[in-house]
Amino acid sequence: MAVSVLAHWAGGSIFDIEPAALAGRGIRLLLADLDNTLVPYGVPEPTDAVRDWSAALAEHGVTLFVLSNNRHPARPERFARALGVPFIGHAGKPKPGSFFRAMEQMGCKPDETAIVGDQIFTDILGGRNAGIYTLLVEPIRLAGNPGRYLRYAVEWPFRALTKRRTQTL
């Protein structure tokens, strides 16, 4: 059986995700891609806006958990520790193993878990493979790597379809 690459919800950024709406859906664990989802590539620590959003999630009973494919272990570790949240680096998305490890670590089931990310073929496909609710955001910044332009160009039709059929959070 084929797994959909369309996200359940699409928005402009993480700040379009209302913590109360997630909690209202029964979400207790929000897995989040790091680079170009929470902050631009290379930003070592969370911004004040990300800190405030993470605190708002916690106030609604939703734990933020950084799930990053970054191959440099110090990057997601430094970011997550500065934010005070758990993390898995070099996650191997879209394979579902790291999604299941995060859920097990936090004591959550798939129907209590969501992922937010900026990439269809890692974050969204991985979330779909793990059976969790998927939230697609626009990449924060494409500059700096020609490969990113190509990747996002390939994703464009799927983004457009997702936006057309997206549900309210």
Q: pLDDT: is 165 or 58 the higher one?
A: 58
Contact 57, 30 (CB under 8 A): yes
Q: Residue 72: helix, strand or coil by DSSP?
A: coil
CATH of domain 9-165: 3.40.50.1000
State the chain's mean pLDDT as an integer: 92
| Per-residue model confidence as pLDDT tens digits over 47-75 | 999 999 999 999 999 999 999 999 888 99
Tokens representing 53 are 């959003």
pLDDT, tens digit, 9 for 90 and up, residues 72-115: 889 999 999 999 999 999 999 999 999 999 999 999 999 999 99
Domain map of the chain by residue range? Answer: 9-165
Contact between 152 and 144 (Cβ < 8 Å): no
